[in-house]
Amino acid sequence: MKILTAAVIILSISLISLIAAHIIYRRQIRKICRRLAFIREHNTNMQLNSDLDFKELNRLEAEINSIIEKSRNDTLNAQKSEDSLKETIANISHDIRTPLTSLDGYFQLLSDSESREERQRYIGIISSRISSLKNMLEELFTYTKLQNEAYVLSLENLSFSKSVCDALFSFYDDFTAAGIEPVTDFTDEKLTVNGNPDALSRIIRNILKNALEHGTDELHLKLESRDGQAVFSCSNRTPHPEEIDINRVFARFYRSDSSRSRTSTGLGLAIAKGLAEKMNGTVTASLDGDVFTVTVFMTIC
């Protein structure tokens, strides 16, 4: 009898313990549900935390907290992407609207003018604006292509020195018109790199164009080999160094306030960096006082 009584007592205690544990589990699950509902309805950093030291519940809450954190990060990234898209659309709209507005005005002047000399002048201005608009659209198209990870360039062994010199000579008239005589320090070494000729030319031309548009009459160009790399640097003084955010010069549409112009999308340096990276190279920028320098690095074959 005593053994039976003890067994009944043990079974009763076990049953009571199981019922109590069941009640506690259910209470904790309801608490988790309430907190999840609160998190769903409110913008909060709240996470689930257990009042009980149950391994299974703690693991469940940890997994739910991980999902909540991922959801928050996804929401933040989506918001950033949306804000970035809005900024992109605004910049594109501004950049295209400006030359179009100018074209509209000059077409009106052309229509109203009876002077052959004036009409020729307006035609010249209109042609220049159309050319600028085409260049801007080409930059937007190139930048868009570079955002596609699947976009690849066909590469070949080519002379880095020749690419730099050819691009430099193509700016002869621009330098002359601006009263600039570049100071060059070019190595006589044969610098052969694995790259795309059009892309490499585009990189150098974008860097030179940036220096012409935003720098002063001092322009220093250097071509050298350094630690197994072909290195081209372009340095010029800038009239407003305080307006340059060196950490953003390669960001899309970046322009310092005084540099904004209707002929620039602010994509030139971003495209240069993107093209260099497609060829396993890189482009960097630095600001030392009022001297702004852009440097291209390509591995020598």
**Which of 279, 285, 223, 219 is closest to 251 using CA atoms?**
285
Residue-averaged pLDDT of the chain: 82
228, 206 Cβ separation under 8 angstroms: no
Could you tell me what percent of the chain has a pLDDT over 90?
Answer: 24
**Which of 216, 159, 209 is closest to 186 using CA atoms?**
159
Q: What is the pLDDT of residue 273?
A: 92
| CA–CA separation, 72 and 52 (whole Å) | 26
In one-letter notation, the amino acid at residue 252 is R
Residue 269 clears pLDDT 70, i.e. is over it:
yes
**Which of 291, 280, 286 is closest to 218 using CA atoms?**
291
Architecture (CATH level 2) of domain 156-299: 2-Layer Sandwich (3.30)
Q: What band does 254 get if pLDDT is binned at 50, 70 and 90?
A: low
Q: In what order do the strands lie in the sheet with 291-299?
A: 183-186, 219-226, 229-237, 291-299, 282-288
Residue 207 clears pLDDT 80, i.e. is over it:
yes
Q: pLDDT of 114-148, one tens digit each?
A: 888 888 988 888 887 787 787 777 777 787 888 78
Q: Where are the domains of the chain?
A: 156-299
Q: pLDDT of 149-184, one tens digit each?
A: 888 889 999 999 999 999 999 888 888 888 888 899
Q: What band does 44 get if pLDDT is binned at 50, 70 and 90?
A: confident
> Facing residues of 193 across strands?
158, 300
